[in-house]
């Protein structure tokens, strides 16, 4: 097993103080929120690392920090030995940036409604100067087919698609720069069960075909079970438990993990905790 | 007699491009003290059913056929008399169902005084009791909604909905906006309160886990129709309709593993303007027969399907 992504003591502190003059006049101290608290982790190539935790536990902030959307307050993130995100304002090489992509939760908010699907999917190709215009449009067709859409869909607008289809467009866009690592932030929590199954299976198939590495963020432990090789559990900004999926589901070490497992709704009523259905 | 009897409920939306049938012949009963789950994917008509019962259909939508009876009394066309008093409602988002400018005490007391002829002191006493019943400190009557967490707000909404002692409580995705640990608390609370008061509950959700944990019976909806209804245990462990079978199989479980793909139903639910003839599920069904494409299967023995029953 080779490590692809390494997170080294990453912390993220947000300053939520009132404006300076207000603070000085009312003699209040600065107010800081520790969203991510000294997190270190290692993600193996070709595997899926799932981050779980409840709302506000810092999992999305950590993900945004890892891809470089928000700089960490301290610590650093390394991708295949190269700097991906750090507290110092060192520029990240485009050749590294290209290999890291993100899929967001809401397929309604993450696609520009005024752009045609073809332009949306071609944007990373253009941004990184990966190929000329003619080749790019052929590549877009290929990407759309790869995620189960038709190449003719390139001429349509996002509003013409359902939630699941839009998430497929997001996946095609993420694949456009030929990344090795994709951060998926709750990619199916806005989708229906049958559509969720389609999107999760697509992600698994792409992982098999392209050898992708995923950081998969979710609050749904059943989804984690079908997707993750490694699991990190976050609580109040800190990583409280990190284990292989099999070990974690067999014997959760941290009380918080146990609590999450206990409160996950169980689909079979025969196995229900209360037994009083 | 059942507390609530819904027969052939049909709701239509006239649009410029023709009439859309959002609910098509939906029938079910709910007993007093029973929790009926309504499940389905977005657009299946489960929220529409709740809205039709409450008389909250957005115009131009209207009930064009069927009946709703509460203890034998017809409700259709008299929703205002029943809403709040006999039909309580809990919505998905607790923040938007509370008035941010009024204390929760003021909102509770307003509701109680609207439904019962009570003086200020008695109403306040009742409001305090209502808060205590949902597990909140009665002294927080003077707090505003923003001072509560999401789970506590949903408790307030439950207290509001139950304060008029309705015969039927309709909970539309009451825990979708909440974390799993809070979700379990709210579902347990709903269950306990309704058992205690013998309230009939319709729990609308897309989450099979919530259904398994909370309901006595479940109705499965697809494209505006009820396609299967039965005991929760039976629907989850031995679903009889091919759609329910597919839905159950595609739901991720803690017993799954990384190396196997989830079961996948091909395609997606039809839009309301393109519902196929016959059984609405036929284009996606793996057991489709010629009859399925021409004739709509009636609800027999708890499911609407032409396929010969394989068990039971």
Cβ neighbors of B63 (< 8 A, separation 6 or more) are B9, B10, B11, B52, B57, B76
Q: Cα–chain-centroid distance for residue B145?
A: 24
CB B209 to CB A265 under 8 A? yes
**Domain covering A3-99+179-276, topology:** Rossmann fold (3.40.50)
**Chain A residue nearest residue B251, CA to CA:** A193
Over residues B242-278, the pLDDT tens digits come to: 999 999 999 888 888 888 899 999 888 888 888 999 9
- The answer to whether residue B281 scores a pLDDT higher than 90 is yes
Give the number of beta-carbon pairs within 8 Å between A and B.
125
CB-nearest to B237 from A48, A229, A270 is: A270
Domain ranges of chain A: 3-99+179-276, 110-178
Using alpha carbons, list the distances in angstroms from residue B180 to A221, A245, B136, B187. 10, 19, 19, 10
Q: What is the mean pLDDT of residues B204-233?
A: 94
Burial of B281 (0-12, 13-18, 19+ CB in 10 A): buried
Percent of chain A predicted with pLDDT > 90: 63
CB B256 to CB A226 under 8 A? yes
Neighbours of B115 (CB within 10 A): 15
Q: What pLDDT, on a 0 to 100 scale, did the predictor assign at position B233?
A: 93
Q: Which B residues in the span 164-203 are in contact with A, Cβ-Cβ below 8 Å?
A: 179-181, 183-184, 188
Using 50 as the pLDDT threshold, list the residues of chain A that sit under it.
269-277
Over residues B8-64, the pLDDT tens digits come to: 999 999 999 899 999 999 999 999 999 999 999 888 999 999 999 999 999 999 999
Cβ neighbors of B259 (< 8 A, separation 6 or more) are none
CB A269 to CB B216 under 8 A? no
Over residues A66-105, the pLDDT tens digits come to: 998 899 999 999 999 999 988 776 778 888 999 999 999 8
The tokens for A84 are 């991906």
CB B232 to CB A277 under 8 A? yes
DSSP letter, residue A229:
S
Tell me if B240 sits within 8 A of B254, measured CB to CB: no
The alpha carbon of residue A63 is apart from the nearest alpha carbon of chain B, in Å, by 19
The alpha carbon of residue B239 is apart from the nearest alpha carbon of chain A, in Å, by 12
Residue of A164, A198, A269, A273 to mutate, interface with B, max B Cβ within 10 Å: A269
Percent of chain B predicted with pLDDT > 90: 75
Pairing label, strands B35-39, B217-222: parallel
Give the residue numbers in A contacting B (CB under 8 Å), as ranges.
48, 54-55, 162-164, 192-198, 200-201, 204-205, 219-223, 225-229, 245, 249, 259-261, 263-270, 272, 274, 277
Q: What is the mean pLDDT of residues B277-303?
A: 93
Q: What pLDDT, on a 0 to 100 scale, did the predictor assign at position A130?
A: 86
Task: For residue B24, give the H/E element and its range.
Answer: strand B18-30
d(CA B219, CA B72): 22
Enumerate the H helices of A147-265 as residue ranges.
163-175, 193-210, 221-227, 245-250, 255-263
The alpha carbon of residue B250 is apart from the nearest alpha carbon of chain A, in Å, by 6
Cβ neighbors of A81 (< 8 A, separation 6 or more) are none
CB A264 to CB B206 under 8 A? no
The alpha carbon of residue B26 is apart from the nearest alpha carbon of chain A, in Å, by 22
CB B254 to CB A223 under 8 A? no
Task: For residue A40, give the H/E element and its range.
Answer: strand A32-44
CB-nearest to A164 from B216, B248, B268 is: B268
The alpha carbon of residue A2 is apart from the nearest alpha carbon of chain B, in Å, by 19
CB B213 to CB A221 under 8 A? no
d(CA A276, CA B14): 45
- The answer to whether residue B311 scores a pLDDT higher than 70 is no
- For residue A196, list chain B residues with Cβ-Cβ distance below 8 A: 250, 252
ipTM of the assembly? 0.79
- The answer to whether residue B90 scores a pLDDT higher than 70 is yes
- For residue A49, list chain B residues with Cβ-Cβ distance below 8 A: none
Q: What pLDDT, on a 0 to 100 scale, did the predictor assign at position A277?
A: 33
d(CA B27, CA B173): 21
Q: What pLDDT, on a 0 to 100 scale, did the predictor assign at position A31?
A: 87
Tell me if A179 sits within 8 A of A100, measured CB to CB: yes
């Amino acid at each position: 097993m080779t490590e692809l992504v390494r997170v080294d003591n990453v912390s993220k502190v947000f300053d939520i103080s009132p404006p300076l003059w207000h603070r000085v006049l009312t003699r209040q101290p600065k107010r800081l929120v520790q969203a991510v608290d000294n997190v270190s982790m290692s993600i193996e190539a070709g595997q899926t690392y799932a981050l779980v935790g409840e709302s506000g536990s810092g999992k999305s902030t950590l993900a945004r920090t890892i891809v470089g959307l928000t700089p960490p307050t301290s610590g650093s993130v390394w991708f295949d030995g190269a700097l991906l995100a750090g507290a110092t304002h060192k520029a990240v090489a485009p050749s590294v940036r290209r290999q890291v992509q993100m899929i967001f939760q809401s397929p309604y908010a993450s696609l520009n409604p005024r752009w045609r699907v073809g332009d949306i999917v071609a944007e990373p190709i253009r941004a990184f100067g990966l190929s000329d215009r003619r080749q790019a449009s052929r590549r877009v067709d290929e990407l759309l087919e790869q995620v189960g859409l038709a190449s003719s869909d390139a001429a349509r607008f996002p509003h013409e698609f359902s939630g699941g289809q839009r998430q497929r467009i997001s996946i095609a866009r993420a694949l456009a720069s030929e990344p090795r690592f994709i951060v998926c932030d709750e990619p199916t929590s806005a989708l229906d069960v049958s559509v969720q199954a389609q999107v999760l299976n697509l992600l698994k198939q792409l992982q098999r075909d392209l050898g992708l590495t995923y950081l998969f963020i979710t609050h749904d432990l059943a989804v984690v079970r079908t997707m993750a090789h490694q699991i990190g559990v976050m609580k109040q900004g800190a990583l409280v438990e990190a284990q292989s999926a099999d070990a974690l589901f067999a014997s959760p070490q941290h009380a918080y993990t146990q609590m999450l497992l206990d409160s996950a709704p169980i689909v079979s009523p025969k196995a229900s905790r209360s037994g009083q259905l | 007699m059942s507390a609530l009897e819904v027969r052939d409920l049909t709701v239509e939306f006239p649009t410029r491009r023709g009439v859309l049938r959002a609910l098509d012949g939906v029938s079910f009963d709910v007993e007093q003290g029973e929790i009926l789950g309504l499940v389905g994917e977005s657009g299946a008509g489960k929220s529409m059913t709740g809205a039709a019962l409450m008389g909250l259909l957005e115009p131009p939508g209207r009930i064009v056929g069927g009946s709703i009876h509460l203890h034998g009394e017809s409700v259709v066309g008299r929703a205002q008399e029943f809403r709040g008093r006999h039909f309580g409602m809990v919505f998905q988002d607790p923040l938007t169902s509370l008035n941010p400018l009024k204390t929760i005490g003021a909102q509770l007391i307003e509701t109680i005084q609207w439904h019962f002829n009570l003086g200020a002191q008695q109403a306040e006493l009742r409001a305090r009791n209502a808060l205590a019943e949902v597990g909140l400190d009665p002294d927080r009557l003077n707090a505003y909604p923003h001072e509560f967490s999401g789970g506590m707000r949903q408790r307030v909404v439950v207290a509001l909905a139950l304060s008029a002692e309705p015969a039927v409580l309709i909970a539309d995705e009451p825990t979708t906006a909440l974390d799993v640990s809070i979700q379990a608390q709210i579902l347990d609370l709903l269950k306990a309160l309704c058992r205690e008061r013998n309230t009939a509950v319709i729990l609308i959700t897309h989450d099979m886990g919530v259904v398994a944990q909370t309901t006595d019976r479940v109705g499965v909806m697809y494209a505006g129709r009820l396609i299967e209804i039965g005991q929760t245990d039976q629907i989850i462990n031995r679903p009889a309709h091919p759609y329910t079978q597919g839905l159950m199989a595609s739901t991720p479980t803690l017993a799954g593993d990384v190396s196997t793909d989830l079961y996948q139903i091909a395609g997606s639910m039809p839009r309301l303007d393109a519902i196929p003839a016959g059984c609405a599920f036929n284009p996606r069904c793996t057991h489709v027969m010629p009859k399925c494409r021409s004739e709509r299967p009636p609800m027999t023995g708890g499911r609407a399907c032409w396929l010969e029953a394989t068990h039971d």
